[in-house]
Structure 1
Amino acid sequence: MARSIILLLDSFGIGSAHDAEKFGDSGADTLGHICEWMAVNRRKADGSPDYLRLPNLAGLGLAGAAELSRGQKLAHPLSSDDSRINAAYTCAEEISHGKDTLSGHWEIAGVPVLFDWGYFPQQPKCFPEELVEEIIKQGNLPGVLGEKHASGTEIIKELGEEHLQTGKPIIYTSADSVLQIAAHEEAFGLDRLYELCKICYELVKPYHIARVIARPFVGSYAEDFVRTGNRHDYAVPAPEATLLDKLTAASGSVYAVGKIADIFAHRGITKHYPASGLEKLFDTALQAVQEAPDKSLVFVNFVDFDSSFGHRRDTKGYGEGLEYFDTRLPEMLAVLKPEDLLLITADHGCDPTWSGSDHTREKIPVLFFGKGVVSQALTPMRTFSDIGQTIADHLGIERLTNGTAADLR
């Protein structure tokens, strides 16, 4: 019986969306700019350009999907022959109001976010005074640090030592609808951090905030601090039944790898596989696929492309992360069953060459692979929900509220 596997490269955009200008992202192009940057800045031993090489993704139609999105070819081929395709490929645009993680994932699962999340203003002391007072009171805290928009890695360098000295957790936000709390995993305590996040999850409901995120770190001094893999997201549940909900309601299974379970508020999840880091995530994805029964969805989020490379504007790291992922793809293809449908996609962009550290409003790649899939360029999708409906059709479950299935045969 049919199974589906989604490998979602968090933030892997392939060109500006039609409404990118509204978000200040006109011209953003995660893949295109990485491709150009690598050609200029990376060199082989003989001094010649060391181009971005993604032969396995190219074989699934990535270059073609990028051309559909951008209206022109990439500056440099991703393989020796980008025309040799063994998949159905296209690009998709988002109709959700935001360019955040929840909106992208929910829309893929058939539930676009057609309302506005709440956001904290870009200013010092960005959180309402009454909210901070309640966090301190209900969390039994000596106070808090931060209270501003910040990069998660930079703010622990800035305030981590003071946090260790005072016991005050660091609260901060970003352009996303989020409240994040950084605290030392050992000195403050991981369980205590999680409990504080649960308190904050209830407190931010009146502000329509999408997520509260625990950001534990370890280390002894500013340059030594590093975030651990024990991040935990407390997310608002989707307002309607998602692809995941409908599959489990139909006696199917959803195997969630990485932060997928958190993104869907642990609803519609059969089994959760915690993992972090590209290598561990891919290893765990292979394990989940090998363990998943018939009529199941294995859903994997490769968060490092966003958190480690995109937000940190690490273009070289992003490109080399893509190349690592590409080298592992044959392992995934080798464990697929004859009726499996593999999808490689993303949830938004995060162009590492862009200004600031926020997501970028971009189209995403949609690459379908399977024994019954005809190699072809599909019509560009007008909503991410077309992806979810295509998978729902493959799994033979109830239609989603939104989306039109692509014909893969």
Structure 2
Amino acid sequence: MTRAIILVLDSFGVGYADDAVKFGDVGANTFINIAKHYFKEKNKIIHLPNLGALGLHEISRQATSTEQLQAFTQDLANADKTIDQFYCTPTKGAFGYMAEISTGKDTPSGHWEMAGVPVLFDWGYFNDKQQSFSDDLISEIANKTGVNGILGNCHASGTEIINAYGEEHIKSKLPICYTSADSVFQIAAHEHHFGLDNLYRYCEQVRELLSDSDLNIGRVIARPFIGNDTSTFTRTGNRRDYSVLPPEATVLDKITQAGGQVISVGKIADIFAHQGISVKTKATGIDALVDATITHLKTAEANSLIFTNLVNFDQDYGHRRDPIGYAQALEHFDKRLPEIYAQMAEDDILFLTADHGCDPTWPGSDHTREFVPVMAYNHSIQAVELGKRASFADLGQTLAALFQVKSMAYGTSFLQQLVVPD
């Protein structure tokens, strides 16, 4: 009975990658810098016993630069603590870390690569931070949608821009359009004053327009919010991503084409433009996403892949540059891992990984080019080291071998290292 679960801890990097200099990210390290700030500000060593038992701390030790590890060790020593009080010895599962070969450090690139299809082309970007969208593009959008004008038109944090333009948006009914360092066109609108269906329709029209252009923009993202003024504006869980299709068949396509099921939890279906997805479940918040994953584990049949994205690590803590909130969310998630183990059948395999980094202590509010962890849990696997993997696509190739579908063009399977001899 083949069943697998992937939990993507969205943005949970474990150390700047070998090519981080190209991205200006040398020194970024989501996990270690969270741990450092948590210790400095709360005088607490981040407590992750379940992730630690799966090898997280050993992964971090291997993927973190010597200088960063020494600095953290010294921080602890200055407060009469030792690195051993932070470090957990691996006792179960398999563990390693993966480098990204895709050209970008965005969400689709990371997910597509882990599904066996790295992005080896360059996305288009809106690089002008002050006027991101050209007058011609704004005019084309107005002609396409019938909405004459936009607000924003800049690089911005999603929470900051609704505070800046939310009240004007309610009065004018003009959508708030903005972008970031990723290949995205983001559209914020009030669920009641603009209308959720109206927002989705507007995003679909912009997606269609951009797809017909030569701009090569990866995603249009609907960012609905509620509230009456800047003191009450809050983004809701009704986000929707409108992505272009992956450039070729992913392992998800191959599993579904072979008669298996791919169950999307969270924004996975959106990231893959709903291709290769059998069942879609939306949920808001880490607890709800974990609950939905557990619910599917109770009923999923053989040859099922449950694929869950825990977006809140990224959108609530990484982009918002909140290392303390990130640390506390990690500790809470860690406590819930045994609940997932309890629902796993003997042959099930759980994979935990990430799609990129988003170091909440790093300048700006964008993703960071980092290695990501890969941890695999099965009731029988005990502390197997997977080492440094050359591509996120190693996970996709492992899934192809597990589900016995045609191998992917990229990646090296580590399935044999997960098989316990009889």
Question: Shorter-chain-normalised TM-score: which range?
Answer: over 0.9
Aligned-residue offset at 1:374: 4.4
* 1:63 counterpart residue number: 57
SS of 1:378's equivalent in the other structure is strand
Please state if 1:246 is matched with 2:254: yes
Do the aligned partners of 2:144 and 2:209 also contact (CA within 8 Å) in 1? no
Q: TM-score, normalised by structure 1?
A: 0.96
String of CA shifts for 1:146-198, please: whole Å, max 9, x gaps: 11110000000000000001111100000000000000000100001000001
Do the aligned partners of 2:394 and 2:413 also contact (CA within 8 Å) in 1? yes
* 2:197 counterpart residue number: 191
Do the aligned partners of 1:273 and 1:284 also contact (CA within 8 Å) in 2? yes
Equivalent-residue separation in structure 2 for 1:37 and 1:309 (angstroms): 13
String of CA shifts for 1:197-249, please: whole Å, max 9, x gaps: 01100111221000000000000011210000000000001011101000001
Structure 1 unaligned residues grouped into runs of 5+: 43-48
* 1:46 counterpart residue number: none
* 2:112 counterpart residue number: 106
Do the aligned partners of 1:52 and 1:78 also contact (CA within 8 Å) in 2? no
Aligned-residue offset at 1:138: 1.9
User: Could you tell which deviates more after superposition, 92-101 or 387-396?
Assistant: 387-396
* 1:280 counterpart residue number: 288
Work out which of the residue numbers 360, 363, 376 in structure 1 matches 2:384: 376
Q: Cα 1:110–1:196, aligned 2, differ >3 Å: closer, same or farther?
A: same
Do the aligned partners of 1:54 and 1:79 also contact (CA within 8 Å) in 2? no
* 1:35 counterpart residue number: 35
Do the aligned partners of 2:351 and 2:374 also contact (CA within 8 Å) in 1? yes
Work out which of the residue numbers 39, 42, 46 in structure 2 matches 1:52: 46
RMSD: 1.4
Do the aligned partners of 2:116 and 2:393 also contact (CA within 8 Å) in 1? yes
String of CA shifts for 1:37-78, please: whole Å, max 9, x gaps: 111110xxxxxx211000000011101111121155674669
* 1:311 counterpart residue number: 319
* 2:126 counterpart residue number: 120
Aligned-residue offset at 1:372: 4.3
User: Could you tell which deviates more after superposition, 198-207 or 145-154?
Assistant: 198-207
One-letter identity of the residue aligned with 1:151? S
* 2:142 counterpart residue number: 136
Aligned-residue offset at 1:298: 0.3
Aligned-residue offset at 1:285: 1.1
Please state if 1:174 is matched with 2:184: no
Q: Cα 1:78–1:235, aligned 2, differ >3 Å: closer, same or farther?
A: farther
Q: Where in structure 2 are the equivalents of 1:10-409 lying within 5 Å?
A: 10-42=10-42, 49-71=43-65, 75=73, 82-205=88-211, 206=213, 207-406=215-414, 407-409=417-419
SS of 1:241's equivalent in the other structure is coil
Q: Cα 1:390–1:187, aligned 2, differ >3 Å: closer, same or farther?
A: same
Aligned-residue offset at 1:123: 2.9
One-letter identity of the residue aligned with 2:136? E
Equivalent-residue separation in structure 2 for 1:40 and 1:243 (angstroms): 43
Q: TM-score, normalised by structure 2?
A: 0.93
SS of 2:231's equivalent in the other structure is helix
SS of 2:170's equivalent in the other structure is helix
Do the aligned partners of 1:120 and 1:126 also contact (CA within 8 Å) in 2? yes
Equivalent-residue separation in structure 2 for 1:255 and 1:84 (angstroms): 30
Do the aligned partners of 2:90 and 2:383 also contact (CA within 8 Å) in 1? no
One-letter identity of the residue aligned with 1:262? D
Do the aligned partners of 1:53 and 1:79 also contact (CA within 8 Å) in 2? no
Q: Cα 1:80–1:151, aligned 2, differ >3 Å: closer, same or farther?
A: closer
One-letter identity of the residue aligned with 2:274? H
The sequence identity of aligned pairs, in percent, is 49
One-letter identity of the residue aligned with 1:21? V
String of CA shifts for 1:344-370, please: whole Å, max 9, x gaps: 100000000000000000000000111
User: Could you tell which deviates more after superposition, 134-143 or 170-179?
Assistant: 134-143
Structure 2 unaligned residues grouped into runs of 5+: 74-81
SS of 1:392's equivalent in the other structure is helix
Equivalent-residue separation in structure 2 for 1:63 and 1:22 (angstroms): 27
Q: Cα 1:22–1:181, aligned 2, differ >3 Å: closer, same or farther?
A: same
Equivalent-residue separation in structure 2 for 1:123 and 1:204 (angstroms): 19
Equivalent-residue separation in structure 1 for 2:376 and 2:65 (angstroms): 21
